[in-house]
Structure 1
Amino acid sequence: MKTTILANRVLAITCLSAALGLAGCQQEGTAEKTGKEIDSAAEKAEQKIEQTTEKAEKKIEGAKESVIDKAETAGKYIDDSVITTKVKTAILNDPFLYSSHIEVTTDKGLVKLSGTVDSEKNIARAMEVAGSQENVQSVQSELTVNTSTTGE
Structure 2
Amino acid sequence: MRLSESVFFIFFLSAAIGLTGCQQEGSAEKAGQKIDQAAEKAGKKLEETKASLGAAADKTGGYIDDSAITAKINAEILSDPLLKASQINVTTTGGTVKVSGVVDSQQSVDRAMEIVHSNQNVKAVENNLVVKR
> Which TM-score applies when normalising by structure 1?
0.69
Q: Which residue of 2 aligns with 1:74?
A: 60
**How far did 1:145 drift?**
1.1
**Structure 2 residues without counterparts, runs of 5 or longer:** 1-22
Q: What secondary structure is seen at the aligned counterpart in 2 of 1:123? A: helix
Q: Which residue of 2 aligns with 1:123?
A: 109
Candidates 20, 25, 42, aligned match of 2:28 = 42
The correspondence of residues 1-150 of structure 1 with structure 2, limited to 5 A, is 40-147=26-133
Q: What secondary structure is seen at the aligned counterpart in 2 of 1:136? A: coil
Counterpart CA distance in 1 for 2:76 and 2:117 is 11
**How far did 1:40 drift?**
2.9
> Per the alignment, do residues 38 and 133 of structure 1 end up closer, same or farther by CA in structure 2, a change over 3 Å counting?
closer
**How far did 1:138 drift?**
2.2
- Aligned length in residues: 111
**How far did 1:39 drift?**
8.5
Counterpart CA distance in 2 for 1:78 and 1:134 is 15
- 1:58 maps to a residue whose letter is K
**How far did 1:142 drift?**
0.4
Counterpart CA distance in 2 for 1:137 and 1:131 is 9
Greater relative contact order, per chain length (Cα 8 Å cut-off, separation 6+):
2
- 2:34 maps to a residue whose letter is K
Q: CA RMSD in A?
A: 1.7
Question: Does the 8 A contact of 1:97 with 1:122 survive in 2?
Answer: yes
User: Which one has a bigger Cα radius of gyration?
Assistant: 1
> Which TM-score applies when normalising by structure 2?
0.78
**How far did 1:38 drift?**
7.9
Question: Does the 8 A contact of 1:91 with 1:130 survive in 2?
Answer: no
**How far did 1:134 drift?**
3.3
Detail structure 1 runs of 4+ shifted over 6 Å in the superposition.
Answer: none
> Per the alignment, do residues 41 and 144 of structure 1 end up closer, same or farther by CA in structure 2, a change over 3 Å counting?
same
Counterpart CA distance in 2 for 1:133 and 1:93 is 15
Counterpart CA distance in 2 for 1:67 and 1:145 is 46
Counterpart CA distance in 2 for 1:102 and 1:136 is 17
